[in-house]
Amino acid sequence: MINSFNSSLKTAVIIQVNCPSLIPYDIDEMKGLAKTAGYNIFNIITQKLEHINPKFFLGRGKVELINAGLDNFFYNNHHNHQNQHVEEPLESEEFDENGNPFEEYENKEDEVEFDFPETVHKRKDITVIFNNRLGNMHRLNLTKIWDLKVIDRDELVLEIFERHAQTHESKLQIELARLNLETNIIKKELGQHLEEKQGRDFKGKGRKGWEPKMQAYRGRKKKIRDELKVISKRRNLRRKGRSKFFNVGLIGYTNAGKSTILNQLANSRFETAQQEFTTISPVSRKVVFPSFKENGVWDGQEVIITDSVGFIMDMSPALINAFLSTLEELQFSDLLLLIIDISESNFVTILEKIRTTFTIMTQIEVMEIPRVLVLNKIDELSEEFLQKRVKKIREIYPEIPNVSISALDKTGFDKISEIIIDFKQQKKYH
C-alpha cells in the first residue's frame, strides 16, 4: 500500500449489500482499494436483501439504524447538540415486487456501532463507501439523510486513479470520467428538485438555477475531449525512454503486492546507505542498488521504480479509459515487473490474471518492453506447491523470466535486485 495505516487518513465506513441481482464484489478487494485511496476503515456493515430498496439501496431499517448509530456517536463523543442531524421523514411504506415490506429481509439482530478516531468530529469527516454500484438516486437520498459523503465502488476507483495520474493525458481522462459522473448526479438532483416543487408556482426557476452549472460542465467536457484528440495524435509520434534513468515499472492486479515490493525495495536499500531513495511522485521512487566493481569500488546503481494502479475485476466501462491512461506512463519503462500473487487459492484465476495482464499491456502499448514475472507471496505456499505452479507457468511462458519472492519477508530480494541490475547493465544505463 502506498499509505501506511494512520490517523491522518480519511475515515471510511464500508457498506456492502448482498443481493441476488447484484454483482458480488469481494470485500477484501474493497478493503485494499479503500486503503490505497487513503482511507482508514472503521466499520464494515453488510446487509443481505432479496431486492434492493429503490429509494435507499439499503433496507430502510438499516438506513435508520446507521443514522441512529451516527447520532449516538456524535452525541456521546462530542456533546455537540447543535450539530445534531435532523432526520428527514421517510416514506411510510415500501414494498418489493412481491408485496412484502423490505424490512422482512433485514437482519434485525445487527447493531450498528461506531468507534471513530479522535480526528472525527463531524459527520462530514466520514465517507461511506458502498462495495456496490449505486444508482445516482440512491447516492443522493443517502447523502441527504445521513448528511455525509456517500460514494460507491466506481467513485472510489476514480479517487485511486486521481492519486496515480501522472501524465497530462491521464489527468484529463480522469477529469472527464469525474465530470460525466457528476453530470449524471446533477441531472438526478435537478429532477428531484423539480419534482419536489411540483404543484407550487415554480415555473422552471429551478432549472434556470442549474443551467449555468450544466453549461460549464458541458463546456469543460468538450474542451477536454478536443485536447485528448490532439494528445492522442501527438502520442503516435512520441519517443519512449526519455529519462536518463533506468525505469522499472510495476504492473499487476490489485492486492498482488506491488506497493509492498516498492516500499520494501526502497527501505531495504535505505538500510545499507543513507539517502538512497527519493520519492519522486506519490508512485515513483529512486532506489540505489548496491553494487561493487571488480576492484571493490562502490558503484551504486540508480533506478527509478514506478508503482501503478492495480487491475480490478469487473471494472465499470465508464472507467476503462481513465484506468488505461493512468497506466500509460509505463510506456517509459525500460523493464516491467509483472507482479502476481502466486498464493491465490485458485491457480486457474492466476493464469487468467496473467493473460489479462498481457491484454492490458497490449492496449497500453508496452509489449515491446522486456518483462519479468514476479511471483509474490511465496511465504503463503509450501515449497512443493510453489514448484508445481512455477513449472506450469514456465511451460506456458517459456520465454519470460520469472522470479519467486516474498515481499513480506524479503525472500528472493537479492535475485530481483540482480535481475534489475542485469537488465540495466545490458541497456548500458549509468
Ligand X SMILES: Nc1nc2c(ncn2[C@@H]2O[C@H](COP(=O)(O)OP(=O)(O)OP(=O)(O)O)[C@@H](O)[C@H]2O)c(=O)[nH]1
Number of residues that bind ligand X (CB under 6 A): 19
Cβ proximity to ligand X, 65 vs 251, nearer residue: 251
Task: Establish if 254 lies at the interface with ligand X (CB under 6 A).
Answer: yes
**Residues from 325 through 384 that contact ligand X (CB under 6 A):** 376-377, 379-380
Q: How far apart are CA 37 and CA 39, in angstroms?
A: 6
Q: Give the nearest distance from C-beta 88 to Mg ion in angstroms.
A: 39
Grid cell of 283 as nine digits: 508512485
Task: Establish if 326 lies at the interface with Mg ion (CB under 5 A).
Answer: no
Cβ proximity to ligand X, 247 vs 301, nearer residue: 247
Among 258, 269, 285, 353, binds ligand X (CB under 6 A): 258
Task: Establish if 260 lies at the interface with ligand X (CB under 6 A).
Answer: yes
Q: Give the nearest distance from C-beta 402 to ligand X in angstroms.
A: 15
Task: Establish if 61 lies at the interface with ligand X (CB under 6 A).
Answer: no
For 261, phi then psi, to 5°, come to: -60, -45
Chain centroid, CA 130 distance in Å: 13
Cβ proximity to ligand X, 3 vs 77, nearer residue: 3
DSSP 99-115: S-BGGGGS-TT------
Task: Establish if 389 lies at the interface with ligand X (CB under 6 A).
Answer: no
Cβ proximity to ligand X, 6 vs 92, nearer residue: 6
DSSP 367-397: TTS-EEEEEE-GGGS-HHHHHHHHHHHHHH-
Window contacting ligand X (CB under 6 A); options: 39-47, 167-175, 251-259, 418-426:
251-259
Task: Establish if 406 lies at the interface with ligand X (CB under 6 A).
Answer: yes
Q: How far apart are CA 134 and CA 143, in angstroms?
A: 12
Computed over its alpha carbons, how large is the radius of gyration of the chain?
A: 25
Query: What single-letter DSSP state applies at residue 102?
Result: G
Grid cell of 107 as nine digits: 437482519
Cβ proximity to Mg ion, 37 vs 288, nearer residue: 37
Task: Establish if 259 lies at the interface with Mg ion (CB under 5 A).
Answer: yes
Query: Could you tell me how many helices (H) and strands (E) the chain has, helices first?
Result: 11, 11
Q: Give the nearest distance from C-beta 252 to ligand X in angstroms.
A: 6
Grid cell of 51 as nine digits: 431486492
Window contacting ligand X (CB under 6 A); options: 14-22, 173-181, 366-374, 405-413:
405-413
How many CA atoms lie within 13 Å of 93's alpha carbon, on the beta-carbon side?
Answer: 6
Q: Give the nearest distance from C-beta 200 to ligand X in angstroms.
A: 49
Among 47, 255, 301, 417, binds ligand X (CB under 6 A): 255
Which listed option, ligand X, Mg ion, none, makes contact with residue 255 (CB within 5 to 8 Å by class)? ligand X
Among 256, 287, 340, 381, binds ligand X (CB under 6 A): 256
Q: How far apart are CA 357 and CA 157, in angstroms?
A: 18
Q: Give the nearest distance from C-beta 324 to Mg ion in angstroms.
A: 17
Q: Give the nearest distance from C-beta 175 to ligand X in angstroms.
A: 22
Q: Is 335 helix (H, G, I), strand (E, B) or coil?
A: strand
Cβ proximity to ligand X, 84 vs 267, nearer residue: 267
Q: How far apart are CA 174 and CA 233, in angstroms?
A: 19
Window contacting ligand X (CB under 6 A); options: 82-90, 252-260, 392-400, 413-421:
252-260
**Residues from 408 through 427 that contact ligand X (CB under 6 A):** 408
Cβ proximity to ligand X, 62 vs 258, nearer residue: 258
- Which is it for the CA torsion 35, 38, 43, 48, positive or negative? negative
- Which is it for the CA torsion 43, 152, 169, 320, positive or negative? positive
Which listed option, ligand X, Mg ion, none, makes contact with residue 379 (CB within 5 to 8 Å by class)? ligand X
- Residues 6 or more apart whose CB falls under 8 angstroms from that of 81 comprise 75
How many CA atoms lie within 13 Å of 250's alpha carbon, on the beta-carbon side?
Answer: 31
Helix (H) or strand (E) holding 153: helix 153-164
Cβ proximity to ligand X, 63 vs 405, nearer residue: 405
Task: Establish if 287 lies at the interface with ligand X (CB under 6 A).
Answer: no
Query: What single-letter DSSP state applies at residue 329?
Result: G
- Classify 257 in phi/psi space as left (phi over 0), alpha (psi -120 to 50) or beta: left
Task: Establish if 255 lies at the interface with Mg ion (CB under 5 A).
Answer: no
Neighbours of 175 (CB within 10 A): 16
Among 58, 407, 416, 420, binds ligand X (CB under 6 A): 407
* Residues forming the site for Mg ion (CB under 5 A): 258-259
* Residues forming the site for ligand X (CB under 6 A): 1, 32, 36, 252, 254-260, 310, 376-377, 379-380, 406-408
